[in-house]
Amino acid sequence: MQDAFVAFHNDKSLVKKYLKSLLIGELAPDQPSFESNKKKSLLEDFRELRCTIEKMGLLRPNYFFFFLIFLHLLVLDAASWLVLWYFGVSLVPFLAGMVFFTTAQIQMGWFQHDLGHCSVFRKPRWNRLLQIVVINMLKGLPASWWNHLHNQHHAKPNCFRKDPDLNMHPLLFSLGKTLSMELGKQKKKFMPYNYQHKYFILLAPLALIPFFQLSTIYFAIKRKKWLDLILVVTFNIRVCLMYVPLMGFKTFMIYYWLSRYLESSWFIWVSQMNHIPMNIDYDKNKDWVSTQLHATCNVNQSVFNDWFTGHLNFQIEHHLFPTMPRHNYWKVAPLVKSLCDKHGIEYKTKPLLTAFVDILHSLKDSGEHWLEAYLHG
């Protein structure tokens, strides 16, 4: 657990204050503290690499970079309203406003993701405060809900029943060869999985919208996150007051939910391009580095790809160093690739469109494995 702990916490002195209350026991002298399936030499080299990047200052944020990120999403958000206010709600300004609103919302999502990982400010407190402003007040989602789910994903990516991003299996999709064959042999069929590569395009983003809306409210009430709930309600009141006077309630509902669908599509393709094509299985209790490398892949760097994905095209580096500011991923990428080459681990990187197509190829393969097991297993 040492590598995971170090990866998630930059301010070690702060978190050590809370560790004593979490102590539940110690290993007996005859119990090994190092699992036999963990690659000792890989971990040693990775820890040396982490020391190197700390000395290089790659965990220190560039405040001007993040200021520009924050500024540009505020400009996009303002533009979505100004276009409609100035030009009216005819088709062209309606569509232009929708594009601005969608782009602002997805870029807010990428920025609050940075804040959730405490990579924008050096002090966790400031990251948490600005994250509440961005995701709660500007996006209408609870910060506590996002952090709860996303930290689980990072701890065990692509591990079924431990990674909440895989909760769409098996109700909507059948993911990975192992899980698909198991589902087929059990004669379970919640959906026609052999066609999932075709209905993913429409259904995945469509299903994400009510999931986000309902699960966030349920989470806030169940956990008594009343401030989160109040701020989410405040967001909805704010957008209604901004847009309903310009276009009426019915037109605003079309504008808002179409924007949410576009944002959901953008989010689902970017978030899944690095994971669905990779190995999906039950937790094999691998070491931290192997767990991250086998569950992630990269997309080629370009100015557009960096912006479009919120730098999640560097998914390998992000998962190995989740608190690293995104503007430094490209600097550490060659060092991570050298580590992979040394230990015979494939460092996958591909063009953006190829990454999107690979989602569908992976779903098609999983669906075929399910069908074969369902019919003949």
37 by Cβ neighbours in 10 Å (0-12 / 13-18 / 19+) ranks as exposed
Angstrom distance (rounded) from CA 355 to CA 285: 27
pLDDT for the residue numbered 29: 64
152 by Cβ neighbours in 10 Å (0-12 / 13-18 / 19+) ranks as middle
pLDDT for the residue numbered 36: 54
Angstrom distance (rounded) from CA 36 to CA 51: 25
pLDDT for the residue numbered 39: 82
- φ, ψ for residue 323 (rounded to 5)? -95, 0
Selection from 302, 318, 280, 295 nearest residue 351 by Cα = 302
Angstrom distance (rounded) from CA 267 to CA 20: 39
> Tens-digit pLDDT profile for the chain (377 aa)?
478 778 787 766 676 666 777 777 776 766 555 555 678 899 999 999 999 999 999 999 999 999 999 999 999 999 999 999 999 999 999 999 999 999 999 999 999 999 999 999 999 999 999 999 999 999 999 999 999 999 999 999 999 999 999 999 999 999 999 999 999 999 999 999 999 999 999 999 999 999 888 899 899 999 999 999 999 999 999 999 999 999 999 999 999 999 999 999 999 999 999 999 999 999 998 999 999 999 999 999 999 999 999 999 999 999 999 999 999 999 999 999 999 999 999 999 999 999 999 999 999 999 999 999 999 97
> What pTM did the predictor assign?
0.92
Q: What is the CA angle 142-269-276, rounded to 5?
A: 100
